[in-house]
Amino acid sequence: MPNGNKNPFSNRHFQFMWMDDPEAGNSITMSRPATPYIIVWDMETNFYYLPQTGFNVDKLNVEDINKFLEDVMMEKSLSYGGNGIGQHIKRFFYDITMVVYSIYNESVWLALVVFGVPSLVISIICYALCCMETVDEELYDEMEQNEYTTDGVIVDEEKYEKLTSKDDVHKKSE
């Protein structure tokens, strides 16, 4: 630094990086914070730290950044994220959401084919299964006992006997 001053940000605990695209920061936080923003990310534990609400990124000065970094080192700042099972589940759903969102942004028609058609088929199958008429076993057994088939036509037993008895009467009278 000029004037012989020590660089306040030269610290072996932190590496600084500027990114023009906020997507990496969004992926770390699994949200979309307002840009510009500052994130301190511990790559070993996947914890990340955001400045407190009174921290204004637009009006940054060296003292505010030093205070924030000291709070992170002394573990006074609130940490988010981590490697727990809850974070893994949250990461899984976040990744699925981002994939669907990116497919939709790239091509609406592709998203319709990839997600819409299978959803439609599954909906039709569920509707058919849920709205299908149920057959009562007792009624089905009773119907099975009372019906006979003649030439592929189902006839009720009483009607069948009446028809055959009339035919026998006609045959006897001839």
pTM: 0.57
Residue 167 lies in a domain: yes
Q: Do the domain assignments include residue 139?
A: no
Measured distance CA(130)–CA(14) in Å, rounded = 59
77 and 105 in a single domain? The answer is no
Main-chain phi, psi angles of 41, to 5 degrees: -120, 125
Shared domain for 48 and 16, answered yes or no, is yes
Question: Looking at the structure, do residues 98 and 72 belong to the same domain, yes or no?
Answer: no
**Residue 136 domain-assigned (yes or no):** no
Closest CA to 90 of 25, 31, 21, 37: 31
In a domain, 109, yes or no: yes
What is the chain's alpha carbon radius of gyration, rounded to the nearest angstrom?
38
Q: Is residue 38 part of a domain?
A: yes
The rounded distance, in Å, linking the Cα atoms of 129 and 151 is: 33
Answer yes or no: do 116 and 161 share one domain.
no
**Domain match, 99 and 45 both:** no
Task: Name 148's Cβ contacts closer than 8 Å, sequence gap at least 6.
Answer: 154, 155, 157, 160
How far apart, in whole angstroms, are the C-alpha atoms of residue 8 and residue 69? 11
Q: List, for residues 119-145, the tens digit of each pLDDT value.
A: 999 999 999 888 877 666 666 665 565
The answer on 18 and 71 residing in a single domain is yes
Look at residue 3 in the predicted model and tell me its pLDDT.
47
- Residue by residue, DSSP assigns 44-59 as TTTEEE---TT--GGG
Q: What is the mean pLDDT of the chain?
A: 77
Domain count, the chain: 3
108 pLDDT above the threshold of 80: yes
Whether residue 62 is found in the same domain as residue 34? yes
Q: Which residues form the domain of 103?
A: 85-130
Q: Using alpha carbons, select from 49, 32, 31 the residue that is nearest to residue 40.
A: 49
Q: Is residue 138 part of a domain?
A: no
Residues 44 and 63 in one domain: yes
**39 with 25: CB under 8 angstroms?**
yes
- Pair 94, 126 in one domain: yes
Indicate whether 76 and 93 sit together in one domain.
Answer: no
pLDDT digits (tens, 9 = 90+) for 12-44: 677 777 788 888 888 888 888 777 788 888 888
Q: Both tokens of residue 153?
A: 């036509």
Per residue in 56-93, pLDDT tens? 777 778 888 888 888 888 888 888 888 899 999 999 99
User: Residue 135 falls within a domain, yes or no?
Assistant: no
Structure tokens at 131: 């709205």
Report how far residue 149's alpha carbon sits from residue 170's, in angstroms, rounded to the nearest whole number: 22
Examine residue 51 and state whether it is found in any structural domain, yes or no.
Answer: yes
Residues 23 and 70 in one domain: yes
Cα 23 from chain centroid (whole Å): 20
Distance CA 119, CA 66 (A): 52
Residue 15 sits in the same domain as residue 66: yes
